[in-house]
Structure 1
Amino acid sequence: MKEEVFRNDSEIVVTNPVSNKNSGGPLFVETFLIDEDGILTYSKGFDLACFGFKPGSSSGLSVFDLFQEDLILLDIVNRALNGEAITTEATIDGITYATSFSPVFDCNGKVKNVVGVSCDITESKKASETVQKSEFRLRTLFNSAHDAIFTMNRSTFLDCNEATLRIFQCTRDQIIGQTPIRFSPLRQSNGRLSEEVAPEKIAAAFKGEPQFFEWRHTRYDGTPFEAEVSLNVFHHDGEQQLQAIVRDISERKRTDETNKKLATVVNATTNIVLLVDVNGEINWVNPAFTRLTGYTLEEVVGKKPGSLLRGPKTDRITSDFIREKFRAGLGFKNVEIINYTKTGGEYWVSIEVQPIRDASGKVVQWVAIESDITERKATQQALLDRNEELIKINTELDRFVYSASHDLRAPIASLLGLVEVARLEKDMDNMTFMLDMQEKSLLRLDRFIKDIVDHSRNTRLPVECEKVSFEKLVHATLEQFQYMENVSKIRKMISIDQSQDFYTAPSRLEIIFNNLISNSLKYADLRKDDPCLKVLIKSNSQSAEIRVIDNGEGIPKDSKDKVFDMFFRASANGTGSGLGLYIVKEAVQKIGGTIRVESNYGIGSEFVVIIPNRNTESQD
């Protein structure tokens, strides 16, 4: 810096070519001189405002008079006159002045005068403060960061933040000046030596290639931990350095590993798992859901399980229960309900639903776990059906034992009585009459035993289907009853329309024809002009309709609903066991058919049997 100093009377003018940052022109530095007696001499245009004085004060006055109220400034002047160089700063009306007091010594070392220089440093002060604030903020961020941040040259650590000390569990002295290898295991997770890989990463970063990678570090005591590392080059005082940021991801790695295991379990389990948002819409389903329902993840996202999976047999009360629990934010479990697949198939599930809450306790999601219990429900239903069947069998058995004992003993008792009478009877005509009565008792006993055998066979024997001829079966049945009393007096009309093969169980069909035809013949009303029996059969590839019609006694109205019950006799004139129509109903049900009766007492009856053609089943 070149300065020109002029002496004009008692004035000193110093011209300084430094640029003025405010105006862009030259900055005139204010100078002054204080002699050993304290007389102040200052340059032309010097503004005493930098000292807090009013403009217009004259030069050549004593500073002790001018500054007599400013004890601090007087102290500075005295110290300067005593040989101490002093620099001060003062801010007046928003302008900051820097003033230096420099003592000048004579050849004897005595202070001859003090040279003062004052200049406006407002802008530089502001710039300096801005830099300091920025440095403070950066240092605060540097030290308050959660991740480890440190600087390094090509081999060693130069500086680090507080998080570095926490993560690596060391002191600053224990890490500054060390190499990255000191805080790395012998080998990385891929098997490579740390001392080979680290220089490669550092060299690439110094070439201007930012690095981001996972690295296995060790703490100061040797404990390993997983980390994410980023390396970026920067320049400091003309020197290249690296900024390294290390994030401890050990917890995240453990969480990821746990999540992978959970994902494996969720994807492999046979249970259905759904994630549902707070609006009740599906976010995600596992593969088991797709396997059971047929819906893919893409097809169900954004849809509500209730509207998607419910159907005609879904219990409304159970659905309402689930909906209310959802609205209340409450979980539930062991709720069983019928759902429907994409193709409309029914399946049973046992559902457990639990809310997922955030830190504040607010429900943010729902998880539903469903177990397919279709097979279990089918087993339960089969057990219930079997139990009902056993109850029915036990009831029928009790009734059977009672009725059988009565119906078996009645003919035997009659025979025993006739035997005793026959022993005393000597008239052959009476003897013949008694033999006829014995024959009737024996026939009655035979019929009853036959009914018992038919009932037993129908109950125990499997259904074996084969091709049948309705015409042969009907005519064979009629042949059995051709010698029955009064059969010749009954007109018989047979109409059979069988154009295709028909498959069913012939043994059950024989039971049906035997009982229905025998009842029509037995209870024919011979008082009518034209007692008749009609057997009408129509069959096709699907089913057969069998109608047995008579104009006999008919069935009383109050008995019509009971005619298929075990041991029920609708006619007071009946001599049967009461098992016939019961056995007919059981036989029809065994081959998958139905039976109904229409009857008017005194007019006649019509029995209608419909049975399926099991042609396809037999071929399979």
Structure 2
Amino acid sequence: MQKFTFNKEGFNNLFPFHLLLDGDLNITSIGKSIAKLYPNLKEGESFKALFRIKRPFLDTITPAGLLTNLTQLVILESRTGSDVQLRGQFEQMDDCFLFIGSPWFVSLEEIKQQNLSILDFANYDPLLDLLQLIKTQEITTLELRNLLKINNNQREELRKDREELNRIAMVASANNNGIVFTTPDAKIFWCNDAYMRQTGFSREEVIGKTPVQIGNNPAIDKVELHTMIDRFYKGEPFDVEITHGRKDGSYFWTRIQGQPVYNDDGKVLQFFAMVEDMSEMREKEEELKLLSVITEKNTNSIVVCDKNGHIEWANKSFEQTTGYSITELIGKKPGKLLQGKETNPETAAYLAQQIRAGEPFKCEILNYKKNGIKYWAQIQGQALYNERGEIARYFAIEEDITERKKLERQKEELVTSLEKSNKELEDYAQIVSHDLKSPLRSINSLIAWIKEENEGGLSDQTALYLSMIENKLEKMDSLIQGVLTYSRIDKADVNKERINLHEIVRNIISIIHIPDNITVQVDGTLPTILADRYRMHQLFQNLIGNAVNYIDKPHGLVNIGYTETGAHYTFYVKDNGPGIAPENHQKIFKIFQSLIKNERSTGLGLSIVKKIADNYKGRVWLESELKNGTTFFIQLPKK
């Protein structure tokens, strides 16, 4: 298994708002941007002492609790006084926990207040696009308000006619918007029925109170509120968008337009205000902002559903993929519309359960188009929450992966076919090697009989010829055995045991032919490793045998030894032979490749070495200098 390797610099480039925790939940790495948000945060401190998990709520933070919530959206808040929340997800990396996320801001000004800049965010962070869109909207709104101010000044002149204002007051009771009249000191003395329906208060509860007392709520914009109050007491018209409280503690978005009513001397007699419920319009505006952000850089199919799972909106790609028009999609549930008899019921149940729980979801599912054609889709999505923390709707992004699934099936079929072919080739190699060895043994026996029956009667030339035939037969037998050995090297070793490599190598040295002018020595003591004894014997016998066979010096020397790291053993077989040219370093590992003519060489030895190393997920390479020898290195994982 590949072990997780943490690179802090690389993680900071991709995930500047990350926290890495060890198995005891102590902080071992802090993202460069998180360090700006929490300057007193230090590595080595306890995560659970500094943070609480707000969503999903965990009373006590434990490794088991984090494991249970790995696939969920997590909201962190500091225990040390900072009001910035982090939204993201935990992932387990070996015995560590990695939190990846970003802070949640609603304006670019908040980023500046926290001494952050755009450079502190990952390039892909969608929060930057959303905040920029909100900023653009604020600028547009400000421009509209400036225009409205000019327009109000013009309207003020027109509304100075007291009789017109009185006529407005007379019809106020029939207005669908809330209407209130106040005294110059802001006490309400009249309101219409619409205002009582909006707020839930009775007329008796409203009369004598100020609009601020009635409408105050936790979400109210203090700046807008003070603007409205300031203009009121200056006797100026005002037009603000602000939240307005209800009797039950909830609130709704309003547009409040106020106008003073003057007497003949120009003094304010009373104030007239119209309260328009803007909640539905605001929700639509937020929806449009969201949809524009989602669709701006995404060509995949996108669908938005209400809190009950019914489709509210879908983009053109979704229509083109499914074959349904937007009018056919609105009000339908995607699952009932697109799933069919071959759709995996477990996947469908997973989607339904995640949506009911308001949790993010990601899966691959078989869907059906309107015309009945099946297609594979990768779906990911999540719930969207309103300002009160309630699920408002869901959105999902769907990618057509039909072609990818076809390629995966083709790959599986190819792997199955290759496995079958490899087995057939192995069986064939064994049969052929057996059939080839049989006549070789017969020829060898015939030569022995000829020598025996003609002992002393053969000419020197004939005896030489027979000896040459025997050498060729021996090489042919070695070649056949090498092919059979190569074909039998499986892709996975099943017979693994703890083996003493030092003992194996000493045994090899004792049984192979080593000329008197060559010394083979082991540097130190080789380790005991987990491997297949026969494969390791093949590997080292081929390497040591090659080194001995090719040495061209009067005094040859072969050294065997190793080094190790935390994850690998690296063995070496070094000789002082003729060396190998750089252009041949890779060629020699190919089957039937031999660079020097040698009666005992089959061209299979190093290809067998490489195949064994590959099967252990190791590697083999060499370093060589012409005329000064060669060193072969074999790196094997410890596990």
- The answer to whether TM tops 0.5 is no
TM-score (norm 1): 0.36
TM-score (norm 2): 0.35
Larger Cα Rg: Structure 1 or Structure 2?
1
